[in-house]
Structure formats: structure tokens, C-alpha cells
Amino acid sequence: MRYLVLTDIHANLEALDACLTDARARGYQQTLVLGDLVGYGADPNAVIERVRALKPAAMVRGNHDKVASGLEPPDGFNAVARSAAHWTFDALTGPNRAWLAALPAGPHTVDDLIEICHGSPFDEDAYIFDELDALRALKVSARTLCLFGHTHYPVTFQLSAETFDSTGPSTLAESRVDLRPGRKYLVNPGSVGQPRDGDPRAAYAIADTGAARVELYRLAYPIEEAAAKVVDAGLPEVLAQRLTVGR
Ligand code: ZN
């Protein structure tokens, strides 16, 4: 099975469409969505409708999905995220808001190989930043490959009986992680709609269970268009600026 893996789309329709076009050309059968479909970007309804049309095999909610759908108050959100969450709540149609609120919490077991979560397998809202967080997550994870998001930072951690390694973002448009026997993997493909690793290109992955590998892709998309929509929508301008720098 080839799974298209999308996380942290954040209502960026231009980035999502670029990823979908690229992924279709590469071929995949099913879609996995790791949360934060909305928040920050100007197209929450259109993004939800695109994702729903993909009929994902599995999805989990992100912290922005919970707040923007009214499920949780924006505690812990900074002023910009809070403002975007209010804007998104108002912009969402009733049915889309209800659909978002009904997304399941992670972690979620997809098949014999893969588990997905938004933040970490031990807490849907926890951030995996460093090796300590990653080790804890790898020990809790129920599958060989745990796919996560939330930090908007592409990274791979791998654990065997003898070794523990991490690999950060690649500058290449394509890179891959080969899943070797006897190891556990924790992979963040990076954010579709709001990258924060200094590379403004959209990020997504294809997890190929037959070939035992994760393919990681970065691609250019019409950033200026997405940024202009953010400004026109009356969202905080800093959200447009950060798209262009990938921070
Ligand atoms: Zn996010």
C-alpha cells in the first residue's frame, strides 16, 4: 500500500493542491491525515472539502482543529494563533465545523506497520522536539513506523537495540527513509501549509508499506497567492510573512 501522508495543512489551499498534484503523479492508494487541517491560513472550508473528497483511510485531529471548531478554548495559544483560531471559527460553515469537531484523537493504528498521531503517541498535544521526547514516543509507539506532525519540522528518529539516530530536514526535493528490520521509526514529514524549518516549500510524504520506505518530498507552490489571501482575509500579516520564509 502506498499512503499519501499529509499533516499541518493549516488552511493553505495552494500548498495542499500542489502536494496533491505531485502525489497523484507519483501514485498512491490511500491517504493519512495527521491533523491541523485549519488555523493560520485563509481557506479552511476549501481545505476541509478537499480532504474529505480524498476519503482518507485514517485521520486524527490537531490542536488547531480542536480550538477552531470550538471544542477547546485557545489556552496556550499565542496572540496570533488565538486571533487566527477566532477568525477560523467564524469562517467555517456549520457542517465543516461539526465535521472538524468530530475528528478522532490520536494515536490511531492504521495497519500492521503504521501508527499515526498529531503530537506524540503518548499525548496528542505534546511536541516531539528533542531526542528525549522522541525516545519516549518510540517506546510508547505500538508500530514499527509512527508518523507524527505538530512541530512543522521534518525529522526522522530511529531506534534499534544498539542505536538511536535522528535525521533532520533535507535540502533535496526528494529523500527517503528505508525501514530496516529490528528498528522502530518516528517520522515527521513536515508541514504542508506552514513549514518552519527555514525552507518555505510545502512538505508531504508517501509511506510505501510494500517497499518498506517513507518517501519525503518538498515542492514549490504559489506562496505569494496563499500569502495575499491571508492578508486579504484580515488575518495577522505575520502569518503571510512566515509562509515566504518558512519559519
Ligand atoms: Zn500545526
* Residue 38 CA to ligand 1 centre (angstroms): 8
* Residue 148 CA to ligand 1 centre (angstroms): 11
* Residue 246 CA to ligand 1 centre (angstroms): 13
* Residue 20 CA to ligand 1 centre (angstroms): 19
- Mean pLDDT, the chain, rounded, equals 97
* Residue 65 CA to ligand 1 centre (angstroms): 9
DSSP 10: T
Residues with CB under 5 A from ligand 1 (ion): 8, 36
* Residue 192 CA to ligand 1 centre (angstroms): 9
- Residue 198's Cβ-count burial label (10 Å; 0-12, 13-18, 19+) is exposed
- pLDDT confidence band for 57 (50 / 70 / 90): very high
163-209 pLDDT, tens digit each: 999 999 999 999 999 999 999 999 999 999 999 999 999 999 999 99
Quick one: pLDDT at residue 86? Answer: 97
* Residue 190 CA to ligand 1 centre (angstroms): 10
* Residue 213 CA to ligand 1 centre (angstroms): 24
d(CA 16, CA 204): 9
Determine contact, residues 154/162, Cβ cutoff 8 Å: no
Quick one: pLDDT at residue 92? Answer: 98
CATH of range 2-242; options 2.170.130.10, 3.40.190.10, 3.60.21.10, 3.30.420.240:
3.60.21.10
Name the residue among 48, 23, 25 with its Cα closest to residue 38.
48
* Residue 181 CA to ligand 1 centre (angstroms): 31
Three cell numbers written together for 27: 501514485
142-154 pLDDT, tens digit each: 999 999 999 999 9
Please give the model's pTM, rounded to 2 decimal places: 0.97
Domain spans of the chain, in order of start: 2-242
* Residue 179 CA to ligand 1 centre (angstroms): 26
72-116 pLDDT, tens digit each: 999 999 999 999 999 999 999 999 999 999 999 999 999 999 999
